[in-house]
A and B are shown apart, each in its own frame.
Chain A
Amino acid sequence: MMDDNSPYLPLPQPDDIPVREKEDAMGAYLMMFAGVAIAIPLPLLNLVASFVYLYLNRQKSRFVHFHALQALYSQIPVTILNMVLLAWLIVCLVNDFTFPATFKGYAIMVALVNLVDIVFSLIAAAKARKGLMYYYVFFGRLSYHQAFSKNTGPEKAPVNSPPSF
């Protein structure tokens, strides 16, 4: 149970979350298939789709915001790895189809990263649909901090003031 001194807002429970919000939260993880959806499997498209989804859904609720953030943050390193692989592949193809061992190792690692991403995204989508908070390693903590922190910044001095009479 959260105490009043906690820097974070209390978490909503599954029964308190409307079905619509659960569906919106689930949708965030499915944006990783955007490239496949429009038949242009460019790594960057999935990231853009995740970002657009976050932008459109960030005001809905903290639960949706959390899942959209987690989906986006986890997509960033995957996208970077995929783009590096693509660029490296092109370089290898241009150099008479020579694939060094480091490239092969990298390709296998990226394939595993993508597989892990897909599996955990689907699990997270299913959990979100049930109204559950599901935390990825690293990204879960980051997203939770951003979505549920209380906005307790220092009080700002007023800038506007009435006219002098």
Chain B
Amino acid sequence: MRFTVSLQESYSRVELLLRTFFGWLYMALPHGFLLMFVGIWSGILTFVAFWVVLFTGRYPQSMYEFQVGFARWGLRLRARLMNLSDGYPAFGINPVDENVVLELPYPEKQSRALLLLRLFFGWLYVGIPHGFLLFFRAIATWVIMFIAWWIVLFTGKYPESFHEFVTGFLRWSTRVNLYLLFLTDDYPPFTGKETEK
């Protein structure tokens, strides 16, 4: 999996203020509303795909691409709401966003044993350890985001290390989600850093 959010040379202060005070209205609400329905469809496809993988060892490619598109949509929105990127996130499963990139290669074969292991014990060997660490990472992320907000407001620039830290939180949580949703057999590493070159 490869997830990157481009660090812009400069960030718009107007957009920052607009997102902070009205982002819930013009961004979160419309996207959230649509994502809710698309999320229901994603849930149905996850259920269906689980049984297909269990019996055939292969995630249906169309469904896989839909799920990845859905994940991309959510990440596009989150990147804007977390002030990692300017601009309005595009609606839909298929749009290409140059600033927020999620690449997940399609697995030709998936392990059925791992599938069952994740279903019955995913909460234990993934949910608990990653959840525990992500909880503290989330707190730190919120603090960094708060500081970064002021820096962007006064300088128009987002510190690179801060940007990387916040992006790392998104990357880590995305990896965990993708693993638990049977989209990848690679156990998520305990880091927010990019591991794939």
**Interface on A for B, CB 8 Å cutoff?**
19-20, 23-24, 26-27, 30-31, 33-34, 36-38, 49, 52, 57, 129
Contact = CB atoms under 8 A, between A and B. Distances in A.
Contact of A30 (B40, B43, B48, B58): B48
A30 B51 CA distance: 9
A34 B47 CA distance: 8
Given A52-B41, A129-B56, A37 B62 contact: no
A24 B52 contact: no
B61 interface: yes
Contacts of A34: 44, 47
Interface of B: 40-41, 43-44, 46-48, 51-52, 56, 58, 60-63
Contact of B52 (A19, A26, A52): A26
A52 B40 CA distance: 12
B62 A20 contact: yes
A57 B63 CA distance: 11
B61 A37 contact: no
Contacts of B51: 30, 33
A33 B62 contact: no
A37 B47 contact: yes
Listed from nearest, the 7 A-B pairs whose CB atoms lie closest are A37-B47, A23-B60, A30-B48, A37-B44, A34-B44, A20-B61, A24-B62
B48 A36 contact: no
Contacts of B46: 37
A142 B145 CA distance: 59
Contact of A38 (B43, B61, B62): B43
Contacts of A129: 56
B153 to A, nearest CB: 42
Contacts of B48: 27, 30-31, 33, 37
A38 to B, nearest CB: 5
B44 A49 contact: yes
- Specify which of A19, A23, A38, A49 lies most central, judged by the most chain B CB atoms within 10 Å of its CB: A23
Contacts of A24: 60, 62
B44 A38 contact: yes
23 contacts: A20-B60, A20-B61, A23-B52, A23-B60, A23-B61, A23-B63, A24-B60, A24-B62, A26-B60, A27-B52, A27-B63, A30-B48, A31-B44, A31-B48, A33-B47, A34-B47, A37-B43, A37-B44, A37-B47, A38-B40, A49-B41, A57-B62, A129-B56
Contacts of B58: 23
Contacts of A33: 47-48, 51
